[in-house]
Amino acid sequence: GPDFPTGGIIMGRSGIRAAYATGRGKITLRGRAEIIEKKNGRYEILISEIPYMVNKTRLIESIADLVKDKRIEGISDLNDESSSRTGMKIVIEIKKDANPQVVLNQLYRFTQLQDTVGVIMLALVDGVPRVLSLKETLHYYIAHQEDVIVRRTRYELSKAEERAHILEGYVVALDHIDEVISIIRSSQTDKEAAARLTERFGLTDKQTTAILEMRLRRLTGLEREKIQSELEELREKIAYYNRVLSDPQLVRDIIKEELQEIKKKFDTPRRTQLSDAAKDLDVEDLIAEESMVVTVTKAGYVKRLPVATYRQQKRGGKGMQAVNLKDNDYVEHLFVASTHSFMLFFSTKGKVYRLKGYELPEASRHARGTAIVNLLPLEKGETISAVIATKDFPTDEYLMFATEHGMVKKTSMEQYDRMRRDGLIAINLKDGDRLISVRRVAQGENVIMASSAGKAIMWPEDEVRAMGRGTMGVRGMNAPADAKVLGMEIARPETDLFVITEKGYGKRTLISEYPSHHRGGQGVFTITMTEKKGLLAAMKIVGADDEIMIMSEEGVVVRTPVEGISELGRSTQGVRVMNVAEDDRVTAVAIAAHGKKKRGANADGAEELDESSIDEMEE
């Protein structure tokens, strides 16, 4: 690839390949920048090289303008510390709470710190301008060099032959110097002398002219040796020139030798680095990765906001207003995810749609959000029934689906790695049934389901064989006629099943207290049901270090640590976890996990974060 005098980094090889293959291409050239952590824990970006033909002053001015217009946020100071001693040095100070890599990506995206260099390999071929590929350029360059060497050799051969011709005349004259001098002295004119010399020795006009103009000092013995030596050298050159003109391979050898001499003379270390990294900056590169709370309401309004928006409360707290909702609307899905996670939205019609976390609209704590029909191509009457957040699609893990009528299905996650804009079929549903839960499941894990009647059933995941996307599934739980299946979770060892009723009464019970059954049964009681507590509203698998977020129909949210909730047996009534107003009811529960890394993501509820911890929420 090309080597620019100002250095820099060429991003990707595709532009070079296109230029060399077709004669036209665009090369993305990026300046050299380094993120440096200072002693005080803050960061700075040091720019030591900028792209070729980019003006340093204008680059600095453009960065300042972008900061002023708030198109680039996170820069606190900008200094040009370049000098003849240190070379190029532009120092950009980063704000304490900013992500330096995101700021650098924004500089690449919005300024000439990353620039495009157009390539057009234009040359005159037989007097006609043509755009040449690298192979054609080399072909015509070699042909041109061959022509140059042949013409040069012919010229040098001609000059050598002319000089040798004169020297041969000198040798004849010196061999008969006395007779030559006698002829010259006895001649009346130059023409007469030339004619007599030509007739006597068979010399040409050029030779006789050179002899007549020869100085007397050439008659010495030393000069004679010089003439003889020069003549022999010329005869060797003439022989070499004739070999060159008769042997094309010798011409190519000369080209190689001359190119090696050029390389030796101008060889300097490469300044521009060739990188295999992709040249295009994805939108994701410009967005900081952070945890966010995502809410989806029953009426189809979605929004995201930072986790720190909510403050932590103790068990039994009244909470704070989180969402202003329309009448009869309530939050149905609440979960914590990363801005870089994939959001899989499963609809009531059994279809799945995909968005990135940062594509969801960010809104304030009190805002209702954006109608999801503006983000996804939903059909008339189609609403979102389950959501799952994930960063990857491993082949050895599956999505487990559960419906309100107790049907379950297991499908490999890799089948959701490719997504059409109009969505994909996720599960086939019977009339009157709807999707209620989707979970990531790995080989050997147990699945636990609960019904609104207060019963739960646990069975191994291998009770359900893997199926394709467009299938209906098998029976997972048999709920009474007046009840419905409430949810489904993955029952991991040394965790608790947390359940909460509509009126805010909840408890947690060790998973080990639930016997393993075959799928399709009604299960065992997980809480003693009373009219005061209402029907079972939600269930989640929790760990001792987890914190739960509980949302009510009126949009009130409470966050409380799990360890503050009593761990009770299956057949107990539970304790008050949230004070719920008389005309309100619990609708959704999410988990904000911290203390240790989690593996995946929970659909319809909370992603188990890859973060090592979540900062304490503040109002």
Of 34-38, 279-283, 458-462, the least confident: 279-283
Residue 380: which residues within 8 A CB-CB, separation 6 or more? none
Pairing, β 32-37 against β 43-49: antiparallel
Q: 6 CB contacts (<8 Å, ≥6 apart)? A: 49, 50, 51, 52, 54, 271
Instruction: Give the pLDDT of residue 608.
Output: 36
Phi, psi of 237 (to 5 degrees): -60, -40
pLDDT above 90 as % of the chain: 35
Tell me 617's DSSP state: P
Indicate the pLDDT class of residue 325, thresholds 50, 70 and 90: low
DSSP string, 36-49: EE-TTS-EEEEEEE
Name the least confident of 10-19, 95-104, 127-136, 184-193.
95-104
Q: Mean of the pLDDT values across residues 151-159?
A: 96
**Percent of residues in the chain assigned helix, strand, coil, to nearest 5:** 30, 30, 40
Residue 313 scores a pLDDT above 70: no
Q: How far apart are CA 65 and CA 574, in angstroms?
A: 60
The amino acid that residue 507 corresponds to is K
pLDDT surpassing 80 at residue 190: yes
Classify residue 602 by its DSSP letter.
B
**Which range, 129-133, 226-230, 487-491, is most confident?**
129-133
For residues 175-190, average pLDDT: 89
Question: What integer pLDDT is reported at residue 324 of this predicted model?
Answer: 57
Distances (CA, A) of 80 to 76, 111, 364: 14, 16, 39
Q: Which positions ≥6 away from 379 have C-beta within 8 Å?
A: 349
The pLDDT-based confidence of 319 (bands split at 50, 70, 90) is low
- Per residue in 19-40, pLDDT tens? 999 999 999 999 999 989 888 8
* Residue-wise DSSP of 204-233: -HHHHHHHHT--GGGGSHHHHHHHHHHHHH
Place 606 in a pLDDT band, splitting at 50, 70 and 90: very low
Out of 288-297, 345-354, 399-408, least confident range? 288-297
More confident residue, 617 or 487: 487
Tokens encoding 552: 């009510």
**The two structure tokens encoding residue 290:** 């952070």
Interval 406-425: pLDDT, tens:
999 999 988 888 777 778 88
Which of 477, 497, 476, 484 has its CA nearest to residue 453?
Answer: 484
Least confident of 18-22, 298-302, 440-444, 587-591: 587-591
Mean pLDDT, the chain, as a whole number?
84
Amino acid at 556: V
Give the CA angle between residues 592, 570, 459 to the nearest 5°. 75
Model confidence band, residue 326 (pLDDT cutoffs 50, 70, 90): low
pTM above the 0.75 mark? no
**Helix H or strand E encompassing 274:** strand 273-275
Q: How far apart are alpha carbons 482 and 338 in whole angstroms?
A: 39
Sequence letter at residue 251: V
Mean pLDDT of 568-572: 81
Torsion 323-326-327-329 (CA) sign: negative
Most confident option among 18-32, 290-304, 470-484: 18-32
Say which residue, 295 or 311, is predicted with more confidence.
295
**Per-residue pLDDT tens over the stretch 106-141:** 899 889 999 999 999 999 999 999 999 999 999 999
Q: Which of 58, 59, 65 is nearest to 47 (CA)?
A: 59
Residue 592, pLDDT > 80, answer no
pLDDT tier, 158 (very low <50, low <70, confident <90, very high otherwise): very high
Q: What is the pLDDT of residues 495-551, one digit of tens each?
A: 899 989 889 888 889 998 999 999 999 888 888 888 888 888 888 888 888 888 788
